[in-house]
Structure 1
Amino acid sequence: MNIQKKINNIQFIGSSEKKGDFYLVKGKITGTLEVECVKCLNTFERKVDEEVKYKIVKPPYHGFDDEYDIIEQEKFDLEKILKSEIESLKLDYNICEKCKNKEFNKEF
């Protein structure tokens, strides 16, 4: 089944397939996100363009998958997954253009 979900400036386009008691979700997350630079703490817009693969399973899950990120949910909720992905991107090591080439005090 083709699926599309948008939250603010971030969009997911992909597909889901039910396989027994779990779902396989493949797609792409695109858009722009306001993030904070880890060096100067100023906010800036980060372009997002990521391929994602999720295996949605009911908890507790004790397996492993090399190809898919495992997400435990009682009920398949793409909006919750996308919001979590957005928060993860905000907490990433984001560096603005001004700080990319600056030398900062380094401890040796």
Structure 2
Amino acid sequence: MKTLLTATAIALLAGTPAAFAQSNDGNDVAPMAADNKVDTQTFVTTVPNANEFEIQSSRLAEEKSPSDDVKAFADEMIKDHTKAAEDFKAAMSQGQTTASIKPEI
């Protein structure tokens, strides 16, 4: 047992310098958001679908879960995503896009 612990400690210590020897080329910046652009129609279609999914799955959790904590969380999710859906719809009605906001679910 003592030999196994010693061998393990040596193996761990042998790998430590390699972990610290990683080069730091000063390029610690995350990829630019431009790499992940989404067109307006995709965004406008996805947001209502995501909200509707959260609402429906939370209703299911409220109905099926025996846990009061899960039911309380599901109720908060329903309230939050219903409000988010209403706010999004209001914002879209003030915008200049012709994209459809009807959920596809």
Same fold (TM over 0.5): no
Higher helix content, 1 or 2: 2
Q: State TM-score, norm by structure 2.
A: 0.22
Larger radius of gyration: 2
Structure with greater contact order relative to length (CA < 8 Å, sep ≥ 6): 2
Higher strand content, 1 or 2: 1
Q: State TM-score, norm by structure 1.
A: 0.22
